[in-house]
């Protein structure tokens, strides 16, 4: 049996894809708001507000289904939990299915970026723990905790360049999970898109900064934050994403709220940039040695 690779990543739950599209639309609307014309955008702002409530309600429903499925899994039984669209979903996700990861990352992003809740708020703990739990299967199956590993395969490499800004056109409002096509988003092939979704989920998780105790000086962050930062750093190494511009471009190809994401990206880069820079220097030294 061949080892799993990035081409095995998938999003099997079509409802998670639909909510992903909804969050993208909400974020792009907010990015394009003109604060100088508040009256003219009043109706649009109301629609965005309604969409935010709809998105959170549906995410909570999917999370309840996920928790029930995990309980059945621990009990060794098969749940009978049809999706809201009455589609036939597999009883248990595959080890490289990103559906639950996407759901929890969307919910965290909604709280942190869209609603503007503080990254240190204790209310993020449960969602962050659920995201950590959902990440274990893909991370272990893809061996993303090994710092020395680089991505290799018999097929073509994932794109290591900044994504083409050309966008899809004349696409239907709903896209299947196999194609993950979304209106107005950069056109990425399936493997690149799924790999970037995992990267984006790790970045969103790293933005949660819950302190162990407010009485401690300096404030010590929980092990959740260390998990996300280490996984993000190692995943960048695995995919040979070793400079900040390339990493930012990969994240922007998924969902990006300008000012908030830029600030959080700067904080994350402070924690991972030195190690990635040293790896890049080592790689360049190896290339020079090989060339000579």
What's the predicted TM-score (pTM) here? Answer: 0.79
Average pLDDT over residues 252-262: 96
pLDDT given for residue 113 in this prediction? 97
pLDDT (tens digit per residue) in 227-240: 999 999 999 998 99
Q: Which of 7, 60, 25 is nearest to 174 (CA)?
A: 25
pLDDT (tens digit per residue) in 38-49: 665 777 888 899
Q: Provide the pLDDT confidence category of residue 84 given band limits of 50, 70 and 90.
A: very low
Residue 118 has pLDDT above 60, yes or no: yes
Q: Which of 127-131, 173-177, 184-188, 276-280 has the highest mean pLDDT?
A: 127-131
**Dist. CA 108–CA 167, nearest whole Å:** 26
Sign of CA dihedral 157, 141, 95, 58: negative
Sign of CA dihedral 15, 57, 108, 222: negative
């Amino acid at each position: 049996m061949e080892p799993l690779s990035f081409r095995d990543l998938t999003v099997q739950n079509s409802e998670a894809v639909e909510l992903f599209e909804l969050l993208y639309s909400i974020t792009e609307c907010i990015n394009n708001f003109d604060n100088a014309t508040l009256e003219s955008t009043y109706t649009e702002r109301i629609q965005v507000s309604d969409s935010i409530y709809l998105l959170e309600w549906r995410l909570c429903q999917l999370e309840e289904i996920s928790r029930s499925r995990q309980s059945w899994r621990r009990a060794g039984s098969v749940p009978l939990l049809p999706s809201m669209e009455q589609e036939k979903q597999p009883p248990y996700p595959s080890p490289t299915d990103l559906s639950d990861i996407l759901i929890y990352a969307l919910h965290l992003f909604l709280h942190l970026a869209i609603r503007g809740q503080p990254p240190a708020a204790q209310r993020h703990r449960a969602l962050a723990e659920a995201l950590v739990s959902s990440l274990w299967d893909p991370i272990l199956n893809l061996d993303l905790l090994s710092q020395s590993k680089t991505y290799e395969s018999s097929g073509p490499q994932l794109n290591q360049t900044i994504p083409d800004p050309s966008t899809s056109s004349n696409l239907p409002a709903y896209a299947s999970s196999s194609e993950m096509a979304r209106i107005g988003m950069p056109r990425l092939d399936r493997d690149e898109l799924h790999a970037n979704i995992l990267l984006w989920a790790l970045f969103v998780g790293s933005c949660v900064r819950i302190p162990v105790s407010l009485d401690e000086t300096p404030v010590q962050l929980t092990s959740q934050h260390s998990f996300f930062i280490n996984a993000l750093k190692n995943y960048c190494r695995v995919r040979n994403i070793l400079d900040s511009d390339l990493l930012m471009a990969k994240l922007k190809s998924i969902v990006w709220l300008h000012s908030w994401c830029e600030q959080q990206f700067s904080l994350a880069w402070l924690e991972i940039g030195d190690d990635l820079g040293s790896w890049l220097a080592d790689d360049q030294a190896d290339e020079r040695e090989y060339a000579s």
